[in-house]
Structure 1
Amino acid sequence: MLIRSRRGWEIPETQVTPEAIVTRRRALLGTAGLAAATIATPAQAGWGLFGGSAPPPPRKPLVAPANPAYQGGRPLTPEADATSYNNFYEFGGSKSVARAAQALPAEPWTIELAGLVARPRKLALEDLLKQVSLQERVYRHRCVEAWAMTVPWVGFPLAELVKLAEPRPEAQYLVFTSLADPATMPGLRQSWYPWPYTEGCTLAEATNDLAFLAVGMYGKVIPPQNGAPVRLTLPWKYGFKSAKSIVRVEFTTRRPVSFWERLQDSEYGFWANVNPDVAHPRWSQARERLLGTDEMVPTRIWNGYGEFVAGLYTNLENERLFV
């Protein structure tokens, strides 16, 4: 008899929330907000209704000029949805990690430049931001779980960080390491996960103009649950490639094996470029659900950014580019 042990991130079908409950939630939130209009905003009413004691604290404004070349191509996802439905396993396995993530120690923050660079060093984030030009870009974000959002990020091209690092000629890959703080991140107690969270990309991908380091969203500093104070954004790849709360960037000759790839490489590979024709082993990738409306729309290859990135993957016919 074959006995299969369930992995930590899997749940039995009996624990899956029925679709009817999910689709009724939005209507319930709207009703609760109207009923409490004289004493609380709809968002505050929603927090109380679903167990939150209070909404997250207000975020500081962070305004930057919009880059007209990147306007998303879809209506923006409502900020309340984009900042309350999040994967951040360091704070828990559900999508409702916003309250727990407020414990993230985002100030002060340093990023280590390591490996094959001219001068390995640590940069305070405030000093780094003095050496780059912030801009706003609207990007589509596609999760490997087949949901999607469209977000106005504030940040700077990853290529600017690469230039500051001065990689040595033999450098071929970048490895991003996220914060792992046991004092504030309860998810780290799941010892079977290969913490800290790491992700990687090629140097060519990192210097492509689409690759972006975000420090804000919706005209404010990025909230903890979305990867404060600095996260990677690679919009043509599945969302797990966009590492959050980055503390270290290493330049190396060796292709990295990242967090999810270590856990299950048949489902979460190195490249992870979006493709509707290549299914996840456990679900189709042909369509995606838009946060905010729950509309189901067709998935686009490269998440619609093929004109910018398809040329990066020539002569890689034997690679699993879309897993």
Structure 2
Amino acid sequence: MLIKTTKPGDLPESAATPETAYLKRRTLLKGLGLGGLLMANSTRAGVLDLFSPGEEKQSDSGRKPLQFDSDQTTAGLTRTPEKKITNHNNFYEFGTDKTDPARKSQSLKTEPWTLAVEGEVEKPGRVDVWQLMAGTALEERIYRMRCVEAWSMVIPWVGFELGKFLRRFQPTSRAKYVAFETLYDPEQMPGQKNRYLGGGIDYPYVEGLRMDEAMHPLTILSVGLYGRTLPTQNGAPIRLVVPWKYGFKGIKSIVKIRLVEKMPPTSWNKLAPDEYGFYANVNPAVDHPRWSQATERFIGPGGPFSVKRQETLPFNGYGERVASLYSGVDLKKYY
């Protein structure tokens, strides 16, 4: 069993979300005329809708148990309930409402699934993700996750370090960035077929990290949560998790990883560059143009009005481990 000590950024048990509180949705509206972007965010009004019992949309069909070493970094921390994690999602390929992914993604075919690794590597190749799961030592990583919309969760991911995976393909000295790409299949992903329903994004969804960010041991490729393979709405069968960055960096249902010399384009930065930067580090000192990032809502006991706002931690509480990556970088300019 993997034994680790508590790290800065771990939340106290009293701040965790009980299973009785289910966050229903935050409605996003996008107007696409002349490239404009309109988003309605209910968290700014301080009111959070809740699922009533029995209303969750998740389907557990097809999810498989995983073998992994336990992560003790958050010993004593109560995790965000699985039903909330799997029913409150951003996955615009299936719609912009928080409940859309759970309702509309269940028919996504995730077997077989091939992941290509190419670009600035000595040994480019393609791997079968399901064989990768079976042949790779998995860990449970309980990470505090922060969304740019000012809410946060504690999620028990199951996966493996991205850096260890990339080393298998022998990156060259020219590899400065890592680019990721989601599956493009409009027949299975209705948001890709209709630009309005898909939030105006130019699909396929793409993301990127600096090479040192990708190789950091906190950065993982997740293949599961709560001890089982990922639900489709959470990015099955394989997704990126970078806990010190905002959630939109966590690209889902990855089919391609490409190591490149120049900074790659990313979907939200292309759509709204004044709102979503390449780095996307959790930074309470840099506000989103339409709301503050200084505080966040971590859902606790009771109804929507009992949810207390707390201060946002720099680098989402992982600063002790990742701040050195940005020594000398102006994080207000490179947001």
Both proteins in one fold, TM over 0.5: yes
Unaligned runs of 5+ in 2: 1-31, 302-306
Q: Deviations over 1:155-204 (max 9, x none)?
A: 00111111112111111100010112111111012334211000000110
Distance 1:104 1:8, change over 3 A: farther
Tell me the residue number matched to 1:34.
none
Match of 2:183 in 1: 179
- 8 A Cα contact 1:205 1:312, kept in partner: yes
Query: How many pairs are equivalent?
Result: 294
In the other structure, the counterpart of 2:274 is: 266
Q: Confirm or deny: 8 A CA contact 1:82 1:291 kept in the other structure.
A: no
- CA contact 1:261–1:269 (8 Å) conserved in 2: yes
Match runs of 1:49-68 below 5 Å: 55-57=59-61, 59-68=63-72
Tell me which residue corresponds to 1:79. Answer: 82
Q: 1:100 aligns with which of 99, 104, 111?
A: 104
1:285 matched to 2:313? The reply is no
Tell me which residue corresponds to 2:28.
none
Give the letter for the 1:283 counterpart.
Answer: W
Q: What does residue 32 of structure 1 align with?
A: none
Shift of the alpha carbon at 1:273? 0.4
Ranges in structure 1 where 5+ consecutive residues have no aligned partner:
30-41
The reply on whether 1:301 has 2:314 as its aligned counterpart is: yes
CA contact (8 A) 2:179 2:257 kept: yes
Using the TM superposition, give the Cα deviation of residue 307 of structure 1 relative to its aligned residue in structure 2, in angstroms: 1.1
How far apart are 1:128 and its partner, in Å?
A: 2.5
C-alpha contact 2:121 2:171 (8 A) present in aligned 1: yes
Matches of residues 1-323 of structure 1 in structure 2 within 5 Å?
5=33, 10-11=38-39, 22-23=48-49, 25-26=50-51, 29=52, 42=53, 45-47=54-56, 55-57=59-61, 59-68=63-72, 70-71=73-74, 74-96=77-99, 97-191=101-195, 192-291=200-299, 293=301, 294-317=307-330, 320-321=333-334, 323=335
Higher alpha-carbon deviation: 117-126 or 70-79: 70-79
- Letter paired with 2:254: I
For 1:17 and 1:148, locate their aligned partners in 2 and report how far apart those are by CA, in whole Å.
Answer: 12
Give yes or no for contact 2:162–2:214 (8 Å, CA) kept in 1: yes
Q: Secondary structure at the match of 1:141?
A: strand
Deviations 1:230-259 (A, max 9, x none): 110000000001111110000000101200
User: SS at 1:66's partner residue?
Assistant: coil
Alignment TM-score, normalising by the size of structure 2:
0.81
Assess, with a 3 A threshold, how the Cα gap between structure 1 residues 12 and 232 changes in structure 2: closer, same or farther.
closer
Counterpart Cα distance in 1 of 2:107 and 2:131: 24
Mark the CA change 1:158 to 1:72 in structure 2 (over 3 Å): closer, same or farther. Answer: farther
Q: Distance in 2 between matches of 1:136 and 1:22?
A: 29
* Deviation of 1:63 (Å): 3.5
Distance 1:8 1:72, change over 3 A: farther
**Cα RMSD, aligned residues only:** 2.5
Task: Give the CA deviation at 1:216.
Answer: 0.6
State the match for 1:36 in structure 2.
none
Call closer, same or farther: CA 1:82–1:311 in 2, change over 3 Å.
same
| TM-superposition CA deviations, 1:115-165 (whole Å, max 9, x none) | 111122211113323553101010011011111100111000111111112
Q: Which amino acid aligns with 2:118?
A: A
More displaced, 190-199 or 244-253?
Answer: 190-199
Whether contact under 8 Å (1:87, 1:95) holds in the other structure is yes
Greater mean alpha carbon deviation, residues 55-64 or residues 241-250:
55-64
Change (3 A) 1:310 1:19: closer
1:236–1:273 contact (8 Å) kept in structure 2: yes
Deviation at 1:213, TM superposition (A): 0.7
The aligned amino acid for 2:313 is R
The aligned residue for residue 37 of structure 1 is none
The residue type paired with residue 95 of structure 2 is G
Tell me the TM-score normalised to structure 1 length. 0.84
Divergent runs of 4+, >3 A: 4-9, 16-23, 291-295
1:234-293, Cα deviation, whole Å (9 max, x unpaired): 000000011111100000001012000000111101101001121111000111122465
Q: Is the 8 A contact 1:155 1:215 kept in 2?
A: yes
Give the Cα separation in 1 of the matches to 2:188 and 2:331.
42
